[in-house]
């Protein structure tokens, strides 16, 4: 990494007392770094005053690209604001622009900078796995790292697409889906065998060689050899019928029908599209939907829609290009990618994907024929999906307008923060904050607060809330003061509504805490939501400073939305509490001893069986463990016996 800072000579003692130079900001930061940048390809990052990442960009020539930010004027409003917030920059020089593109995509996807186009959905795709580490291979749904030995087929667009294909595999090939432990303990066939969906190798109804043949046929089907497989099964069926083995002929007939059924219900499946991904983008009202179709082994393996986060002025070509680079950052790349638009830097992206995939990759925007038709269908799906999302957004806008009216707000809220605490009998105390906006829950902004005040009484809910509020809003206060000093608007993290799960007591604690931090009365819109009598949903009471408690009609959509917010905060706080409790349960006393790392801990546990066994050992016994000298043995002994 090439640092923007240049080493300075040793300071003169006479200058040591001089006041520090003011920190550079905005264009000055860019110009200062520009002096030291080489004319080479690379990646640059821009950070704000809190060292939060604002933007990640790549360049064929770092000096020229970063130099464009040093010019006054000519920038969009978004870029101008990004430059004004910049307080530091970092650079990485790469061997080529292709490597810079791959690094940029990885950083954007992992760090989600505020001003970049971002692929929101980062879940891995499910696959079908046929295991190879058992005498009777199991077929199952798999998501995540491919550590199990076997054949992986995918990606599928969704778990539903996998389930549908697994259902076909059960009907057509009678493969087992049970776990190894269930398989080993069976003494008679299970219900799936009775339903004609498993060949029951567990109890020997089918021999292992015959079962292996079924597995081979299933793999042929998933590899796109369905035509040849159907022909072969038809020949076997006719042969069985001629030999008057009608039971076997009927089983083969049912398998042929199952294969034909799934092939006929896969929807769009053009000839010759063996391995390809199809992406079409539709943009409207400043939002975009990218519809993806996946074809593997000549079969349609499902579709899914994505809604990238981007500025409303970004053209669809730029959004689609950024989407592709991030989408394939950790996913397998097919040989053919069909697109609805001619994207920016198509040759560079194609070269980067080939480098990642280690095979030839073709990016094409078809203009005619069957491939154009399937891109057109993807585009139609993108248009309809975005229309549904915009309709949901309008519904959300109506709810936010209702919340504005309910809580006397000057305008609909853009950021709602919801707080809840969780503990069990005062142990593992955790506070949680969730954030919601017009586009739903903003999970990247969620926070958990491990309660650190050792003077708190166990289970002191008021004390927990006081600490959470102090930690959250002391930072917000500093951000607001810094923004005011630089004549900037209030920080975007300023909440329009603070919703506290609790009653009048919690509200009073929150109000006292934020006012002690310097917030004026009413500067923050504070509301507490308390469950109704008998904790009945729909009878919640709302508390506001200086107002009488009130309720909303049980059928009010705004009430339902506020309940969802409260429940999400509760879920998040409980999850954080359980994670902390699990970590405590799994903690080992040896972890707290200086000098005992993973290897020595393993050796100690292997020698004495447990941490308790280590605690009972003498200094002499401890020294018999490899890697434990006399000093460390004494330190371990003292740790358990209160010495030194």
Residues 6+ apart with CB under 8 A from 26: 83, 84, 85, 86
Q: Does 463 reside within a domain?
A: yes
- Tell me, yes or no, whether 563 and 619 share the same domain: no
C-alpha angle 355/358/364, rounded to 5°?
70
Question: Looking at residue 144, what is its pLDDT?
Answer: 77
Identify any residues that bridge with 338 across adjacent strands, giving them in sequence order: 278, 364
Q: Please give the backbone phi and psi of residue 447, each rounded to the nearest 5 degrees, phi first.
A: -140, 150
- Tell me, yes or no, whether 434 and 552 share the same domain: yes
Helix ranges, 528-594 (H): 557-586
Half-sphere exposure of 357 (CA within 13 A, CB side): 19
Among residues 347, 373, 389, the one where a domain terminates is 389
The residue assigned the tokens 């920038």 is 75
Question: Looking at residue 123, what is its pLDDT?
Answer: 64
* Residue-wise pLDDT tens digits, 455-475: 777 778 898 899 999 999 999
* Residue-wise pLDDT tens digits, 188-228: 888 888 888 888 999 988 899 989 988 988 888 777 676 77
Q: What is the DSSP string of 324-357?
A: HHHHTTSS---SEEEESS--TTHHHHHHHHHHHH
- Tell me, yes or no, whether 324 and 439 share the same domain: no
Between CA 152 and CA 67 the distance in angstroms is: 47
Q: Which two tokens stand for residue 470?
A: 């102090």
* Residue-wise pLDDT tens digits, 525-579: 999 998 866 555 567 899 999 899 999 888 888 898 898 899 898 888 888 777 7
Q: Assign residue 571 the CATH number of its domain.
A: 3.30.420.340
Where residue 419 falls (left for φ over 0; alpha for ψ -120 to 50; beta otherwise) is: beta
Number of domains composing the chain? 4
Q: Does 487 reside within a domain?
A: yes
Interhelix angle 346-357/316-327, rounded to 10 degrees, is: 10
Q: What is the 3-state secondary structure (H, E, C) of 248-268?
A: HHHHHHHHHHHHHHHHHCCCC
Whether 291 contacts 303, CB under 8 Å: yes
- Tell me, yes or no, whether 436 and 556 share the same domain: yes
- The better pLDDT of the pair 539, 342 is held by 342
Name the residue range of residue 551's domain. Answer: 416-578
- Tell me, yes or no, whether 563 and 594 share the same domain: no
- Tell me, yes or no, whether 430 and 565 share the same domain: yes
Percent of the chain topping pLDDT 70: 89
Question: Looking at residue 110, what is its pLDDT?
Answer: 85
Question: Looking at residue 263, what is its pLDDT?
Answer: 54
Interhelix angle 226-242/246-264, rounded to 10 degrees, is: 160
Q: What is the DSSP string of 362-401?
A: EEE---SHHHHHHHHHHHHHHHHHHHHHHHHHHHHHHHHH
* Residue-wise pLDDT tens digits, 275-326: 889 999 999 888 899 999 888 766 777 788 889 988 888 899 999 999 998 8
Q: Does 239 reside within a domain?
A: no
- Tell me, yes or no, whether 66 and 94 share the same domain: yes
Among residues 56, 90, 111, the one where a domain terminates is 111
Mean pLDDT confidence for 62-68: 92
Between CA 216 and CA 96 the distance in angstroms is: 44
Whether 232 contacts 205, CB under 8 Å: no
Question: Looking at residue 542, what is its pLDDT?
Answer: 93
Between CA 504 and CA 164 the distance in angstroms is: 51
56-70, 246-260, 576-590: which is most confident: 56-70
- The better pLDDT of the pair 619, 586 is held by 619
- The better pLDDT of the pair 435, 253 is held by 435
Question: Looking at residue 643, what is its pLDDT?
Answer: 64
Q: Does 123 reside within a domain?
A: no
Question: Looking at residue 537, what is its pLDDT?
Answer: 59
- Tell me, yes or no, whether 515 and 636 share the same domain: no
* Residue-wise pLDDT tens digits, 594-619: 888 888 888 888 888 777 788 888 88
Q: Does 631 reside within a domain?
A: yes
Q: Assign residue 596 the CATH number of its domain.
A: 1.10.150.20
Q: Does 30 reside within a domain?
A: yes
- Tell me, yes or no, whether 440 and 574 share the same domain: yes
Among residues 532, 558, 578, the one where a domain terminates is 578
Q: Is residue 253 over pLDDT 70?
A: yes
Question: Looking at residue 288, what is its pLDDT?
Answer: 92
- Tell me, yes or no, whether 445 and 564 share the same domain: yes
Q: Is residue 154 over pLDDT 80?
A: no
- Tell me, yes or no, whether 563 and 425 share the same domain: yes
pTM for this prediction? 0.61
Question: Looking at residue 10, what is its pLDDT?
Answer: 41
CA dihedral of 561, 567, 569, 571, whole degrees rounded to 10: -140
Question: Looking at residue 2, what is its pLDDT?
Answer: 44
- Tell me, yes or no, whether 423 and 560 share the same domain: yes
Q: Please give the backbone phi and psi of residue 139, each rounded to the nearest 5 degrees, phi first.
A: -105, 135
Q: Is residue 18 over pLDDT 50?
A: no
Percent of the chain topping pLDDT 90: 29
């Amino acid at each position: 990494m090439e640092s923007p800072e240049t080493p300075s000579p040793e300071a003169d003692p006479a200058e040591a007392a001089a006041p520090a130079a003011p920190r550079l900001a905005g264009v000055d930061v860019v110009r200062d770094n520009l002096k030291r940048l080489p004319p080479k390809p690379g990646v640059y990052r821009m950070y704000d005053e809190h060292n939060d990442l604002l933007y990640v960009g790549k360049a064929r020539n770092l000096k020229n690209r970063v130099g464009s930010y040093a010019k006054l004027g000519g920038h969009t409003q978004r870029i101008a604001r990004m430059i004004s917030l910049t307080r530091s920059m970092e650079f990485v020089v790469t061997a080529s622009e292709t490597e810079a593109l791959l690094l940029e995509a990885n950083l954007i996807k992992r760090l989600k900078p505020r001003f970049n186009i971002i692929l929101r959905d980062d879940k891995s795709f499910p696959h079908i796995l046929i295991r190879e580490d058992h005498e009777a291979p199991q077929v199952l749904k798999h998501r995540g790292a491919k550590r199990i030995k076997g054949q992986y087929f995918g990606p599928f667009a969704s778990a539903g697409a996998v389930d549908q294909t697994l259902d076909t595999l059960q009907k057509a090939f009678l493969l087992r889906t049970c776990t190894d432990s269930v398989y080993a303990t069976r003494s008679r066939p299970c219900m799936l065998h009775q339903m004609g969906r498993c060949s029951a190798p567990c109890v020997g109804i089918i021999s292992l060689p015959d079962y292996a043949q079924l597995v081979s046929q299933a793999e042929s089907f998933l590899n796109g050899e369905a035509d040849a497989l159907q022909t072969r099964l038809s020949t076997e069926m006719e042969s069985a019928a001629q030999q008057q083995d009608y039971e076997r002929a009927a089983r083969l007939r049912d398998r042929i029908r199952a294969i034909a059924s799934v092939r006929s219900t896969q929807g769009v499946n053009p000839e010759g599209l063996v391995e390809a991904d199809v992406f079409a983008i539709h943009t409207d009202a400043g939002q975009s939907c990218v519809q993806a179709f996946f074809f593997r082994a000549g079969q349609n393996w499902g579709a899914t829609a994505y809604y990238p986060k981007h500025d409303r002025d970004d053209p669809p070509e730029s959004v689609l290009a950024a989407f592709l680079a991030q989408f394939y950052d950790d996913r397998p790349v097919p040989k053919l990618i069909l697109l609805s638009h001619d994207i920016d830097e198509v040759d560079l992206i194609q070269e980067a994907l080939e480098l990642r995939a280690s095979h030839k990759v073709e990016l094409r925007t078809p203009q005619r024929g069957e491939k154009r038709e399937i891109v057109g269908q993807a585009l139609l799906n993108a248009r309809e999906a975005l229309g549904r999302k915009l309709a949901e957004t309008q519904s959300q806008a109506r709810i936010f307008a209702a919340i504005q009216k309910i809580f006397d707000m000057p305008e609909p809220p853009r950021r709602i923060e919801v707080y809840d605490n969780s503990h069990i009998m005062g142990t593992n105390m955790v506070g949680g904050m969730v954030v919601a906006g017009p586009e739903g829950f903003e999970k990247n902004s969620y926070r958990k607060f491990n309660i650190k005040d050792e003077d708190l009484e166990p289970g002191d809910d008021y004390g927990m809330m006081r600490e959470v509020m102090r930690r959250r809003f002391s930072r917000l206060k500093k951000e607001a003061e810094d923004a005011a000093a630089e004549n900037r608007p209030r920080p975007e993290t300023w909440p329009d509504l603070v919703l506290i799960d609790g009653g009048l007591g919690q509200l009073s604690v929150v109000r006292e805490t934020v006012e002690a931090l310097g917030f004026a009365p009413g500067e923050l819109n504070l509301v507490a939501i308390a469950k109704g009598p008998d904790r009945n949903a729909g009878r919640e009471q709302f508390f506001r400073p200086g107002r009488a408690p009130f309720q909303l009609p049980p059928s009010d959509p705004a009430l339902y939305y506020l309940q969802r917010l409260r429940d999400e905060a509760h879920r998040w706080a409980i999850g954080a509490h359980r994670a902390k409790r699990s970590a405590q349960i799994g903690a080992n006393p040896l972890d707290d001893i200086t000098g005992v790392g993973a290897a020595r801990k393993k050796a100690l546990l292997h020698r004495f069986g447990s941490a308790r066994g280590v605690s009972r050992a003498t200094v002499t016994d401890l020294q018999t463990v490899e890697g434990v000298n006399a000093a460390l043995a004494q330190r371990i002994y003292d740790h358990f016996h209160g010495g030194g």
